[in-house]
Structure 1
Amino acid sequence: MIDMQIALLADAHDADGCLSRIAGLAGRARSAGTPVVHLRQRLDAYPVPAELRDIHPAVAPRPGDAVLDKDSADSFLGSGLGDLLRGRAVRRLVVTGFATEYCVDSTARAALSLGHDLVLVSDGHTTPVRPVGVVPTPAQVVEHHNTTFATIQYPGRSIRVTPAARVRFD
């Protein structure tokens, strides 16, 4: 779960719907014994009040969840994510979060490059709302990335793009 922080979601496309779908998905993952990892963008360089840097209450970490801080769009870079996944023998990542064309894209590609299988939750990522008339729209950004990951090739990797309701943890 990438960058689902209060401050970042303030102007996100379909934030409430995305939060709801991710919350349900995280609950199902926990029930199945699947690790839930929250990646949190450090916002130290921005004038953001501390309480808005927190992960949104709708998807807040629960006991047993991991929370890792990051400084770049690639959630693997300097965060300890790779070590955590190796330590838990995780092979398949279910990716959700904020900033479709930045953090979600970078993390999904890095996961594939590092040998992980990928499930991109098609209705579980979002991006900022843009001013009227700016193209692409947030919905177009999300659709573009869903289409890209549905057709991209990484030999030896399984890549699926599926809505949250169809993700399985068995």
Structure 2
Amino acid sequence: MTTLHDRPHTALLVVDVQNGVVAGTHRRDEVVGTVGALVRRARHEGVPVVWVQHCDADLVRGSDDWRIVRELAPGEAEPLVEKHYGDSFEDTALESVLAGLGVGRLVVAGAQTDACVRSTLHGAFVRGYDTVLVGDAHTTQDRTAWGAPPPEQVVAHTNLYWARQTAPGRTAGTVEAEDVDFAVPA
């Protein structure tokens, strides 16, 4: 269980599902559809959905690349956290947003697997959050030209190692979207 006291709730954290981030990613449409289904399910179950949106020289605020993909739309009451670094907690309001919601457990989906998703998973875990990665709801671009493995291997490796992540007083894991349980384990 989380090491964060008095934080009994779960939130769905949607990381950087923006036009310029997911354009050309591995299984883009399938992953966006899976994220959309998770968002609808979280809303139906009364689970907070928290959105993260990256902004930098390539993703200029207000540009089409910066916008959340057309298939998804943050609800009016759903927090939207802007970030400038890979870790969604780094120099953002994310921690205070989650504290205000009483969240100690995160279900994480989004892009890019080998950058912002991994950074955010680790950032959450070291800050005391129980952290679940949705194995079929994250994606990345092909960076084989720079020596990286193909995207399907990056996704598979991230799912594998996050499924085995451990630390005192916290839980981690990887589940498929159909197996996501937003209830906090007893």
TM-score range normalised by the length of the shorter chain:
over 0.9
Q: How does 1:1-170 map to 2 (within 5 A)?
A: 1-43=14-56, 45-46=57-58, 50-130=63-143, 135-170=148-183
Q: Which moved more, 1:47-56 or 1:128-137?
A: 128-137
Q: Does the 8 Å contact 2:87/2:123 carry over to 1?
A: yes
Change in Cα spacing, 1:7 to 1:91, as seen in structure 2 (3 Å) is same
CA offset digits 1:21-41 (Å, max 9, x no partner): 000001100111111111000
Shift of 1:64: 1.9
SS at match of 2:138: strand
Shift of 1:129: 2.2
Q: Does the 8 Å contact 1:42/1:71 carry over to 2?
A: yes
**Higher percent of residues as helix:** 1
SS at match of 1:118: strand
Change in Cα spacing, 1:47 to 1:113, as seen in structure 2 (3 Å) is closer
Shift of 1:160: 1.9
Aligned length: 169
Over the matched positions of the two proteins, sequence identity in percent amounts to 36
Letter in 2 for 1:96: A
Runs ≥4 in structure 1, deviation > 2 angstroms?
46-49, 129-135
TM-score (norm. length: structure 2):
0.85
Q: Which runs of 5+ in 1 are unaligned?
A: none
Distance 2:178 2:59 in 1: 37
Shift of 1:46: 2.4
SS at match of 1:69: strand
CA RMSD of aligned residues (A): 1.7
Distance 2:146 2:76 in 1: 43
Q: Which runs of 5+ in 2 are unaligned?
A: 1-13
Shift of 1:169: 2.2
Distance 2:173 2:92 in 1: 25
Distance 1:131 1:152 in 2: 26
Distance 1:19 1:63 in 2: 20
Q: Does the 8 Å contact 1:2/1:39 carry over to 2?
A: yes
Letter in 2 for 1:103: C
Shift of 1:63: 2.3
TM-score (norm. length: structure 1):
0.93
Distance 2:59 2:39 in 1: 30
